[in-house]
């Protein structure tokens, strides 16, 4: 069993060091808590490695610490080091050919998820109380799901990304991991600078995206029923409604049609509008990645792992076709989903299409799973809405999760709802 391993066997840390709290308050909100930081955040005096030794070799030590890290120290938390990440933040698997793959604490033969792999493993393996990661295309939500912990992607633009190596700014967010919703909320209150508790009891609808749950490779009811039963206990069945999210998005975003022809497969394998949304997301990500790092890649020609190398060079050689449309879709989708959810609505979707894949699975075998994953991840990715991945226990001894999404700026409301839901959800969690 993975949990019988010693702390060092998890391979989560890129570099261990201690940064002590800066707080002068008598009751700092994160006192006595430890945290780890993805190796994408600047820490004064340390090189930000960005998951690649050639990057570390060609960059100097940071002259200042990222504000997100400083806010944790000022709130009383102790930093215990930097964690391993996927190279250049360009994967959702968590496998790093240079520094090793952090060991999934829930399933040692499965990937931990990336690109914030080490940050998720550090929390899942109880090496830290919480950790900071980044989420561009799913890099907090995916490893949280795979490692059986909570992962929060905030509304885009609400948490400072200063001092964080950019991947694609239209999507980059500072996210965080925790093993329980209490710490998740405490960290969120600091990062989001929330002054008051938000009333989770005001939730007026839980919208279950049934077509999204049909994408998962386990019986969909195993995920849906756990969540809906828990919500019914607290709020009654009258707030639960069901929708076909793909049809809704297609009706609200007519410009998606230009990306529909680039997707393939039957409706059983994908949701056409979400597959198109994923295509648009990845086009804009490639464009921004190229603008950020293309010159460095072409001049240094870094050593990159399999799969990752092809992805990076594809981005560097990409064109600017349809980038304007991709940018317009972001605002259109946010407006449509904000209108769907209102001030107190919550959307329920699977975080990913199922349990974590096996280590070193052939990329072609993973393609269908990855395509479905990005279809789901693109909903919050493109819209910039906040999303939390919630562990639901295990299915056939592998961790599974569900995600909740609320309108842009409703992060405090979502954190409070997750805390309120926790006890009821724990009673219904999948056990196998």
* CATH code assigned at 85: 3.90.1300.10
Q: Is 115 a catalytic residue?
A: yes
Range(s) of the domain holding residue 136: 2-191
Nearest to residue 18, comparing CAs of 40, 51, 43?
43
Q: Tokens 């600047």 label which residue?
A: 42
The structural domain count of the chain equals 2
**pTM, whole model, 2 decimals?**
0.96
* d(C-alpha 317, C-alpha 426), whole Å: 47
State pLDDT tens for residues 25-42: 788 999 999 999 999 999
Question: 71, 82, 91, 115: which one is catalytic?
Answer: 115
State pLDDT tens for residues 232-257: 999 999 999 999 999 999 999 999 99
Find the range with the poorest average confidence among 58-67, 123-132, 193-202, 338-347: 193-202
State pLDDT tens for residues 255-277: 999 998 755 544 557 899 999 99
Identify whether the C-beta of residue 126 lies closer than 8 Å to the C-beta of residue 32.
Answer: no
Phi, psi of 329 (to 5 degrees): -65, -30
Average pLDDT over residues 109-115: 97
Burial class (CB in 10 A: 0-12, 13-18, 19+), 313: middle
Token pair, residue 291, equals: 């603008």
Final residue before a domain boundary, out of 132, 160, 191: 191
* Residue 339 shares a structural domain with residue 398: yes
Find the range with the poorest average confidence among 1-5, 25-29, 311-315, 374-378: 1-5
Q: Which residue has the higher pLDDT, 46 or 268?
A: 46
* Residue 290 shares a structural domain with residue 348: yes
Q: Note the pLDDT of residue 222.
A: 87
Q: Tokens 């919480």 label which residue?
A: 130
Burial class (CB in 10 A: 0-12, 13-18, 19+), 300: middle
* Cα–Cα separations (whole angstroms), residue 72 to 29, 36, 410: 9, 10, 21
Find the range with the poorest average confidence among 125-139, 301-315, 331-345, 359-373: 359-373
Q: Note the pLDDT of residue 197.
A: 76
Q: Is 8 a catalytic residue?
A: no
Question: 71, 139, 155, 389: which one is catalytic?
Answer: 139
* Residue 169 shares a structural domain with residue 207: no
* Residue 86 shares a structural domain with residue 169: yes
Q: ∠ CA(346), CA(352), CA(358), 5° rounding? A: 160
Average pLDDT over residues 56-60: 98
* Residue 258 shares a structural domain with residue 381: yes
* Residue 282 shares a structural domain with residue 313: yes
Q: Is 303 a catalytic residue?
A: no
Average pLDDT over residues 128-146: 98
* Residue 48 shares a structural domain with residue 145: yes
């Amino acid at each position: 069993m993975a949990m019988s391993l010693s702390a060092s066997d998890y391979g989560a840390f890129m570099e261990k060091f201690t940064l002590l709290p800066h707080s002068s308050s008598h009751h700092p909100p994160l006192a006595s808590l430890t945290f780890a930081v993805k190796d994408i955040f600047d820490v004064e005096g340390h090189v930000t490695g960005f998951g690649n030794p050639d990057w570390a070799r060609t960059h100097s030590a940071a002259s200042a610490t990222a504000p997100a890290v400083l806010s944790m120290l000022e709130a009383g938390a102790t930093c215990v080091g930097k964690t391993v990440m996927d190279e250049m933040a360009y994967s959702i698997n968590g496998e790093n050919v240079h520094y090793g793959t952090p060991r999934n604490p829930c399933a040692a033969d499965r990937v931990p998820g990336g690109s914030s792999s080490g940050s998720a493993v550090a929390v899942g393996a109880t090496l830290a109380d919480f950790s900071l990661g980044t989420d561009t295309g799913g890099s907090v939500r995916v490893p949280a799901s795979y490692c059986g912990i909570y992962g929060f992607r905030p509304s885009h633009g609400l948490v400072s990304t200063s001092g964080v190596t950019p991947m694609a700014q239209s999507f980059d967010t500072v996210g965080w991991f925790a093993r329980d919703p209490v710490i998740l909320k405490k960290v969120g209150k600091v990062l989001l600078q929330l002054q008051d508790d938000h009333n989770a009891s005001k939730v007026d609808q839980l919208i279950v995206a049934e077509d999204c749950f049909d994408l998962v490779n386990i019986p969909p009811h195993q995920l849906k029923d756990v969540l809906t039963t828990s919500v019914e206990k607290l709020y009654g069945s009258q707030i639960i409604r069901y929708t076909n999210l793909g049809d809704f998005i297609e009706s609200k975003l007519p410009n998606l049609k230009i990306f529909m022809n680039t997707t393939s497969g039957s409706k059983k394998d994908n949701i056409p509008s979400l597959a198109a949304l994923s295509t648009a997301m990845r086009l804009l990500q490639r464009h921004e990645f190229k603008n950020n790092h293309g010159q460095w890649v072409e001049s240094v020609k870094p050593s990159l792992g399999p799969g990752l190398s092809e992805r990076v060079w594809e981005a560097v050689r990409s064109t600017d076709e349809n980038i304007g449309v991709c940018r317009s879709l972001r605002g259109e989708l946010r407006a449509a989903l904000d209108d769907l959810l209102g001030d107190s609505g919550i959307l329920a979707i699977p975080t990913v299409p199922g349990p974590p894949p096996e280590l070193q699975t052939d990329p072609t075998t993973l393609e269908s799973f990855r395509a479905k994953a990005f279809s789901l991840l693109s909903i919050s990715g493109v819209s910039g809405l906040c999303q939390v991945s919630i562990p639901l226990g295990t299915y056939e001894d592998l961790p599974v999760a569900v995600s909740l999404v609320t309108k842009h700026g409703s992060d405090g409301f979502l954190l409070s709802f997750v805390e309120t839901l926790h006890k009821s959800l724990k009673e219904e969690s999948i056990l196998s």
